[in-house]
Amino acid sequence: MTETRRRRSLEDQIIEETEKPCEPIEELVGPDPSTITDERLIPSGLTLLNCGCSDNPFGAFVMGSINTIPGRSSSGKSELMLLMQTMCAINPRFDNHILIQDDAEHSSLFDLEYMFPPLVGRLKAPRYDGDLPLHSETIEDFEATILQLCKKSKQPFIYVLDSLDTLASTAELEREWKNALKNVKDKKDMKDIEQSYNTEKARKIHQVLRLVNSHLKKSDSALFIVQQTKQNFNKQFMYDPDWITNGGKGPFFYSFHRIFLDTGAAIKEESRNMKHQIGSHTRCEVVKNKLTGKKRKKGIEFDIYDDYGIDDVGSCVDFLIATEEFVKESGGYYIPKGLSDKKMYRKDVIGMIEEEALERELRIIVGKVWNEIEDDIRPKNRKRRF
């Protein structure tokens, strides 16, 4: 049996097992939010993002869901995904999960042993040729791999595709598209060909997500799709986003959570009269949230250092300073209420938290403040409609 016939046969089996035509498709997208308990939350490794996704400082994403992570170049998308998988690797709740990193970009140069040691020996490639890890090159590669997991794996999995944009639609379509461009006569013909290519890719992506959606819910697996963004030149209204993604509407439609990452100012340090960039600031937006229904564009900011990674403790301290939970004193001092009564500088607050292992206590305080803010901004004194 040819590879194409095997793939088609597998798709047919998945369709028969997972599709329920009598149910509206909206009801099939993601798990029922009312069934989500704390034990089914997936930690992101970033306390503020956890709060933004679930109002819980210890978990963000949901088992059984598809999630998309669009963002600008160098905004920390890959680091965030590796951090999320690291948090799963050290959490006994995920001991039975397979952690898969599909490096479709072939650009993951992170030293796992140095930056994410729990992933050493735990993080898997989508498939292997002997000991050689193989990553997706086309939509068909991704489709075959994840459908095989859905059909044959007896273990739940957490699958990260990084990124969707690098996958071709099909090798055959790619060749036809290039041949067609050779014979193009004017710009209008070229635009029509490009539109056809993009439409085919979007159709294929939508099909794959539709096929795997139901299995993810049943097995408590999760799929994360990283996407690159580009400027939205067709923005018509002031509330339209400044960015768009490739791949059609399928990734957005099937997303339980959709998280946008934007780059900020560079972080620099000086040594011997020379300034060097050692990291950058990132702003995060929750643009789709089927768990709480809330979209949050403020409050989720963090620093990423080149040889340290995402600074969760620093972002929590900055949040508590910004919300005045940590009392500001003259001379640049702060009193970290709930952790100490002493006045200290920001860097000393962070040092104290790490030295005394107060990270959990810090996250509890952040969660309390976050939910107090949520209570404050909720409409008050309104009669319930139903």
Please give the chain's pLDDT, 386 residues, in tens: 555 555 555 555 544 544 444 344 444 678 889 889 999 999 999 999 999 999 999 999 999 999 999 999 989 999 999 999 999 999 999 999 999 999 998 877 889 999 999 999 999 999 999 999 999 988 889 999 999 998 888 899 999 999 898 887 655 455 555 666 666 655 555 555 455 555 677 888 888 999 899 899 989 999 999 999 988 777 777 667 778 888 788 899 999 999 999 999 999 999 999 999 999 999 999 999 999 999 998 889 999 999 999 999 999 999 999 999 999 999 999 999 999 999 999 999 999 999 999 999 999 999 999 999 999 998 888 888 88
> What's the pLDDT score for residue 36?
93
Cα–Cα distance, 17 to 20 (Å, whole number): 9
CA angle 353, 356, 361 (to 5 degrees): 60
> What's the pLDDT score for residue 333?
97
Cα–Cα distance, 223 to 229 (Å, whole number): 19
Cα–Cα distance, 130 to 110 (Å, whole number): 23
Tokens, residue 31: 């798990």
> What's the pLDDT score for residue 17?
47
**With contact defined as beta carbons under 8 Å apart, do 267 and 226 qualify?**
no
Q: Please write down the HEC assignment for all residues of the chain.
A: CCHHHHHHHHHHHHHHHHCCCCCCHHHHCCCCHHHCCHHHEECCCCHHHHHHHHCCCCCCEECCEEEEEEECCCCCHHHHHHHHHHHHHCCHHHCCCEEEEECCCCCCCCCHHHHCHHHCCCEECCEEECCEEECCCEHHHHHHHHHHHHHHCCCCEEEEEECHHHCECCHHHHHHHHHHHHCCCCHHHHHHHHHHHHHHHHHHHHHHHHHHHHHHHHHCCEEEEEEEEEECCCCCCCCCCCEEECCCCHHHHHEEEEEEEEEEEEEEEEECCEEEEEEEEEEEEEEEECCCCCCECCCCEEEEECCCEECHHHHHHHHHHHCCCCEEEHHHEEECCCCCCCCECHHHHHHHHHHCCCHHHHHHHHHHHHHHHHHHHCCCCCCCCC
> What's the pLDDT score for residue 293?
94
Cα–Cα distance, 136 to 148 (Å, whole number): 14
Closest C-alpha to 284, from 294, 270, 296? 296
Say whether the peptide bond before residue 153 is cis (omega within 30 degrees of 0).
no
Closest C-alpha to 222, from 37, 41, 2? 41
Cα–Cα distance, 303 to 257 (Å, whole number): 22
> What's the pLDDT score for residue 126?
94
Tokens, residue 128: 């292997």
> What's the pLDDT score for residue 182?
64
> What's the pLDDT score for residue 21?
41
Closest C-alpha to 115, from 310, 316, 347? 310
CATH class of the domain comprising 3-310: alpha beta
Closest C-alpha to 265, from 281, 243, 247? 281
**With contact defined as beta carbons under 8 Å apart, do 42 and 63 qualify?**
yes
**With contact defined as beta carbons under 8 Å apart, do 231 and 260 qualify?**
no
Domain ranges, ordered by start, for the chain = 3-310, 311-378
Cα–Cα distance, 282 to 73 (Å, whole number): 11
